Amino acid sequence: MIRRYWLIAFLIVHLANTEAAGQLLPNIEIINALKESDRHIANGKSQYALVQLHQVLQTKEAVTDQNILSHLYNNLAIVLARYNNFTGAMACFYKAGSIETKYNTTKRGKRYLSFFSTNANYDNKIKEDIVNDDILELMVQDQINQKELERTEEYESERIQPETIVEAFLDQKEATHYALAILIKQPIPGQKNTNTGLGEVGHSFISLIKYNKDQSAICKSFGFYPEEGQLIPVNPLIPTALSVIKDDSYHNWDQLLGKFVSKDQFEKILEYIDHNIANEYHLSDYNCSDFALTIAQLGNIQIDNTVGYWPLGKGDNPGYIGQSILGGKYFNLDTKTKEGLFTCSNNLFTKTKK
């Protein structure tokens, strides 16, 4: 009789362990896939990382650990940003932040290669309102199916009519969220240089995103440029020119700093664009970086140490802004900390862009 009780007890424990193992196994496989995606992200292999993350996204219903879900969305945010899919990237940042309430930082030396933190105003119960997982999965699958776009500085951003930016957001649809991203292409990635010595000064531009209740979204990425075609291009001796706005949807970048903004902040940004987008371009006083930093300030983003010097001039510039982002010299003025901000590097310090 006693032996039978021991046998029954053994079977119960065995079945319990088997069931626990069955529940644990998917999480182990998912954790391994996420670790693989970490490695691919660190090595700049975005396509490989996206394949791993897509597999996890398809099996996320088996996940019981909320930290794993936050890890998934965190990595998706970084990879989608590297593909210039800022709509998907900021949505994943939001979804990860609404799950996990701690900082996630990746550093190399003193450089912040990625910084991910939650916003105290994020509400877990409405995280699916921004971009649901079915749409996100289609977005990721579509990106995997496409051949990787070779984003180089040879890609020419096209001039657009300034008024089309504001008009695009007046779609008469109810919005649920608004996001802003500041993007920096340094003259020399990872270095505080105002130019390359060969005339290349880098570029600063922004991306504005409006997420609608019906799961649609509007994203506009654009930058402030001097008008081309002058007999003598803008230079320290002739620092002024008429300005133009260009579509920077496919422009390469080294550093991104993003934040969700309030409806009031977003409307102030649109108002500023509507009234100041035709300002005269001035190399020292109002260049692409001044334009981007002004919009950042309207979104309550502060970036320190942005002014550098060059022969016969000084001013805000992409080289210094990029280094400040890499060094963590930025703040969310809504929280008085870095909380609520997302930043990542675009395959910086890696040999491959795949």
Residues whose CB falls within 8 Å of the CB of residue 340, separated by 6 or more in sequence, listed in order: 97, 117, 118, 119, 120, 121, 259, 260, 332, 334
> What pTM was computed for the model?
0.86
Q: What is the pLDDT of residue 341?
A: 92
Q: What is the pLDDT of residue 7?
A: 44
Q: Could you say which residues of the chain have pLDDT below 50? A: 5-25, 120-126, 149-153, 350-354
Distance CA 122, CA 144 (A): 29
Closest among 285, 163, 251, 210 to 294, alpha carbons compared: 285
Identify residue 17 by its one-letter amino acid code.
N
Q: What is the pLDDT of residue 245?
A: 95
Q: What is the pLDDT of residue 118?
A: 60
Q: What is the pLDDT of residue 77?
A: 94
Q: What is the pLDDT of residue 99?
A: 62
